[in-house]
Amino acid sequence: MSQAKRLVLLTGAALSLGAASVAQADQSNDNVRAIVSEMMSDAETRSSLLAGGDAGHDGKFFIAGDGFRLNVGGQIQFRYLLNFRDDDVAPADDFSNGFQARRTKLDFNGTINKDWDFRVLGSFSRDGGEFGLEEAWGRYNFANGVKFRWGQFKLPMLREELVSSSKQLAVERSLTNEVFTQDRSQGVELSAQYEGWRWAVAFSDGLDSENTDFNGGGGSLIGGFPAFKTAGEAEYAFTGRVEFLFNGKWDMFEDFTAAKGQDFGFMLGGAAHWQQSTQTPNPADVDIDTFQFTVDASLEGDSWNLYGAFIYRFQDFENAGVAGNSDASDFGAIVQGGWRFAENTEIFARWDAIFADNDRFGGGEDNFHFITVGFNQYYAGHAAKASIDAVWSLNDTDNLRAVGTGTLPDSGVGLLGDTNEGEVAIRLQMQLLF
């Protein structure tokens, strides 16, 4: 074959390969264009679904868009407890210890727009694991700063109870708070906050009446005596609280601790509650009118905090079925303080007491004193915190059952009840918030 022919054949082959490469490149480009088009379409779909919204974590997980925001959070408190008591009832010289999932909560809250907000809070029981409702409310925010809330929430009464369990100074709230607590109720509330003072008033089903039906009734007899704390649902109840901020900022008093370098703050508060409850247990009707008031003071400064409260409750029993026990006056007091001797390490101490009407017990112990000491280690503020404390009852705690709650003392606070003086509970806790 001549050289000219070879040249022609090579040229043809090269042209064929070039044409094939061009065709393949065009096909690849078409495939790339199809993939890009599909991705752009998916992105547009996602953007349309978000409608200009956002999602992420800024202390809480959230989804937001077009004026709406939903926050999803939770709380885990896990404890190891040791209880020492000297009980005349077998087994004597008793000792109990073990682990406890004290609080496991899920919290859903947010805003519909700037005028409407909401909250749904639930928790898993430490004994059995059942999930139960704690709070469920909606609120409208007026332009003048007044807010109207309806649903199930904490009544505006005791400051210690109003501060979240995740932001307490000690591992657990005081025994005095547990006896006099308002806890949660169903009702309506008006509130407002200004630069130097704030107020709240509520009309509700009464103290500690969460998750009750409208015909649930209230009042009870415990051990043949009228209840120290009214259980169930009141016929009607009114609560009001006012607070004055003399120095500092309101958010300083969302907890009971003070960081290093914090400015001085001083807040004074007071509240009152009145309710009427009626129940009909055989053989006697129980008609209980309850009046309660409290005053409290909170001070915070550079690394230190101090809180004190006084509580009074009067109950009138019109037909309680107990001779010579037509009324009762009971008192409570709390003083606590803490100091951060290091950046994230805090020591604290608390004294609290219950002075119950001695007519309730027929000569039994009617004064109850408790001393609590411990320390906190903050790893990420309250979001990651380790705590240990010891609570010592100076009196017979078994008599607390006759005070009227029917549940105190209990495993929730670490005291189990003894018939002699000197019950001690040691509580070690790890807390995570998300």
pLDDT band at 326 (very low <50, low <70, confident <90, very high): confident
Q: Residue 421 has what pLDDT?
A: 73
The first and second tokens of residue 33, run together, are 């264009």
Mean pLDDT of 129-146: 95
Q: Residue 39 has what pLDDT?
A: 57
The first and second tokens of residue 116, run together, are 């409407």
Question: What global pTM score does this model have?
Answer: 0.84
As a whole number of angstroms, the distance between CA 168 and CA 389 comes to 12
Judged by phi (left if over 0) then psi (alpha if -120 to 50, else beta), residue 138 lies in beta
Strands 68-84 and 95-113: antiparallel
| Residues ≥6 apart with Cβ < 8 Å to 93 | 86, 87
The first and second tokens of residue 112, run together, are 């519909």
- Asked whether residue 285 carries a pLDDT value surpassing 60, the answer given is no
As a whole number of angstroms, the distance between CA 396 and CA 420 comes to 5
Let me know the angle formed at the C-alpha of 419 by 161 and 350, rounded to the nearest 5 degrees. 35
Q: What percent of the chain has pLDDT over 70?
A: 76
Asked if the bond preceding 409 is cis, omega within 30° of 0, the reply is yes
pLDDT by residue (tens digit) across 14-59? Answer: 445 555 544 454 555 666 566 656 655 555 544 444 455 799 988 7
Helix (H) / strand (E) containing 99? strand 95-113
The first and second tokens of residue 204, run together, are 């509700």
- In 3D space, the residue among 316, 146, 320 whose CA is nearest the CA of residue 221 turns out to be 320
Q: Residue 6 has what pLDDT?
A: 52
pLDDT by residue (tens digit) across 72-93? Answer: 999 999 999 999 988 766 656 6
Q: Residue 12 has what pLDDT?
A: 54
Decide: 96 and 415 in contact? Cβ < 8 Å: no
Which amino acid belongs to residue 350? R
pLDDT by residue (tens digit) across 97-134? Answer: 999 999 999 999 999 988 999 999 999 999 889 999 99
Strand partners, 307: 298, 336
pLDDT averaged over every residue in the chain? 84
- Asked whether residue 399 carries a pLDDT value surpassing 70, the answer given is yes
- In 3D space, the residue among 397, 225, 214, 210 whose CA is nearest the CA of residue 315 turns out to be 225
